[in-house]
Copies of this chain bind each other. A is one copy, B any other.
């Protein structure tokens, strides 16, 4: 269950304070250009310490490719990659060995496995997503061959929301600020909000919006592996994610069908729809329009602020978490959302090759 995908399959491993995190990407077609630099660049977008609003941990997160690539191209065999863990402050966690941190996975891991690696969250640490970002960078190479582009941005932090639709924004400016929001004014407000949350030893959640352009019509399976179902599962598998919707999403549930329906039009010989409440997916299958979706993140559970909880002996205790954590994970989660989206689309591109005689 540490594997995702049907034909393009990612399996990940690793705990935050173990020897390494990494993964195996199986099913990558032969002939894809694999650039260590591109993979590292995506990891750098995810790594800690990249700005004053992220955790100040220093981790270089340098990736090594172990297999499946020969003379700069994928060979068709499994691509394995590894990032060694460094900068362990495992002792930060010693006092937490027997305490169930609120809204963490401490208690549930014990309930599941009987015991756990308590250092730094172990397997539940977001360090696991390193493997996803590395694999996603390879998936993006596959997509680029098809002229498919995956972009994500922070559209909400706490109660501060981007009011514009993605079509009204220049998504090429997302990286122009440290919060990764293409609305530069809203970005400033978001940064201030995060700074304040940090000062108050608190944390903030928010929303990341994803946009995939260039997807040909026909991707996605009609029933259980609807394209949005696979996208949703991929997003809901990211740490701290609480919700997913696409196209008109939850807002669209309030519209009448006569407004919500997207009329087909002939646009210079191409089949398009005049509106896109469908979010580029109809009956679970892409229709050639942009695919857009939202991913809701809860505020991170790790707080410096004092909290009450219980320990293994079920005694009430109070804790103040040291560690060095993000007051808001959204900015660093942008490349993770992109990676998971890229993996899902690339997987369905391969599946679709097999759907007609």
Contacts and interface: CB of A to CB of B under 8 A. Distances in A.
A246 B243 contact: yes
B76 A113 contact: yes
A314 B279 CA distance: 21
A202 interface: yes
A173 interface: no
Given A29-B354, A229-B236, A236-B244, 11 more contacts: A1-B221, A13-B66, A15-B68, A30-B113, A31-B356, A75-B117, A111-B218, A112-B218, A112-B220, A264-B310, A266-B315
Interface string A289-307: 0000010111111110101
A259 to B, nearest CB: 8
Contacts of A7: 7, 351, 354
A226 B236 contact: yes
Contacts of A24: 2, 11, 13, 24
Interface residues of A, number: 153
A44 interface: no
Given A13-B78, A122-B75, A252 B2 contact: no
23 contacts: A1-B27, A1-B224, A7-B351, A11-B24, A19-B65, A29-B354, A76-B112, A102-B263, A108-B220, A108-B285, A108-B287, A109-B285, A111-B286, A111-B287, A205-B257, A230-B233, A232-B233, A233-B236, A239-B283, A256-B299, A257-B302, A260-B301, A353-B353
